[in-house]
Amino acid sequence: MKIFGLLTIISLGIAGCNAQPGYTFQKQNNNNTLLWEVSGHELKNPSFLFGTFHLLCKDDIHFSDQLKAAVKTSNEIYMELDMDDPATLLDGMLYMNMKDGKKLSDLYTAEEYKKLESYFSDSLKMPLMLLQSAKPYFLVAMLYPKMMKCLSATGVEEELLKIAKEDKKEIKGLETIKFQASIFDTIPYEWQAKELLNNIDSFSYYETEFDQLVTLYKNQLLDSMQNMDLKSEFGSDQYEDLLVKDRNKKWVGELNEIMKNESVFVAVGAGHLTGEVGLINLLKKEGYKVEPLVNK
């Protein structure tokens, strides 16, 4: 499940939102929200955390008035990647390939490769020969649209980007696509290849689990998402430090400097918010007050 946090994009509401600096945000007394306010620790103005989901049915994406107000009062928007930069997509295509001329066919037996080839051709309608050099974990992400219960799937980040653009907010990235791709060069390609085949062999199981995760996200049950993540077989904890924990620590170090000078709206995968090494807890350890906001 850790991959959701990595592969790493309402106009009417923004037009009608009159939030200005000094706007008081409504807090709530439980963690069942995706929207959090970061204040204290000598910050001049609060910043905000928002947990995203990288692939949802478009009709399931709704932004609250408070979220729109948080975007409006922030100086800049930070996402995992700068999704407003066309180079991000181009670099993604460049860095998705394995190093040293590795090919998918090098990672499988002839029988396994034939199974993989048939699945991509029959189920995804995509010839595997076009993806021969792709990192296997990038291909795992290509299975997720098939798990969706709709035809119009999109990313929460992409819809958020529309709001930010309407309010003429600068979009910045906490990471580059080159850095994200480099993480997958650290994880052995052979291990990634096994994970890809495992996802295909157990597709119906993972499809059910994905649907459960989407339901929890839509209901903003962050603690339940964290508990499901810990128990899930959808992915592996073997590389959790690389995929989640190390990145969270790096982001908090960057945000310490960024938030000193301006109010920012930080939108990253919801899985990065929770847990002992989640952004919420790490920021609290730095001395910030991190409070849940009403997000209905």
pLDDT band at 92 (very low <50, low <70, confident <90, very high): confident
The answer to whether the CB of 51 falls within 8 A of the CB of 34 is: yes
In the prediction, which pLDDT does 83 show?
85
In the prediction, which pLDDT does 16 show?
32
Most confident of 27-36, 78-87, 94-103: 27-36
In the prediction, which pLDDT does 231 show?
55
52 versus 21: which is more confidently predicted? 52
* Average pLDDT for 260-284: 96
Phi, psi of 284 (to 5 degrees): -60, -40
Residues of the chain by 3-state class (helix, strand, coil), percent to 5? 55, 10, 35
* Average pLDDT for 267-280: 95
Two structure tokens written together for 171: 């979009």
CA distance 235 to 212: 15
The answer to whether the CB of 222 falls within 8 A of the CB of 137 is: no
Residue 10 has pLDDT above 70, yes or no: no
Residue 9 has pLDDT above 70, yes or no: no
- Chain centroid, CA 47 distance in Å: 19
In the prediction, which pLDDT does 41 show?
92
In the prediction, which pLDDT does 227 show?
84
Closest CA to 175 of 282, 254, 237, 262: 254
CA distance 131 to 55: 21
What type of residue sits at position 33? T
In the prediction, which pLDDT does 185 show?
92
CA distance 295 to 220: 9
Pairing of strands 153-154, 56-57: antiparallel
Closest CA to 18 of 69, 77, 63, 70: 69
In the prediction, which pLDDT does 58 show?
92
CA distance 235 to 255: 28
Where helices occur in the chain by DSSP H, the ranges are: 11-15, 65-73, 86-95, 110-122, 136-141, 144-147, 156-166, 177-186, 189-201, 203-218, 222-231, 240, 246-261, 279-285
CA distance 16 to 152: 27
* Average pLDDT for 96-118: 95
The answer to whether the CB of 173 falls within 8 A of the CB of 80 is: yes
pLDDT in tens, 207-245: 999 999 999 999 999 999 988 875 554 445 678 888 899
pLDDT in tens, 122-155: 999 999 999 999 999 999 989 988 998 888 889 9
CA angle 142, 146, 151 (to 5 degrees): 115
In the prediction, which pLDDT does 95 show?
87
User: Under DSSP, is residue 293 helix (H, G, I), strand (E, B) or coil?
Assistant: strand
Q: Which residue has the tokens 């649209």?
A: 145
In the prediction, which pLDDT does 230 show?
59
In the prediction, which pLDDT does 236 show?
55
The model carries a pTM of 0.88
CA pseudo-torsion sign 39, 223, 66, 158: positive
- The kind and range of the H/E element at 56 are strand 56-57
Q: Which residue has the tokens 């910030």?
A: 288
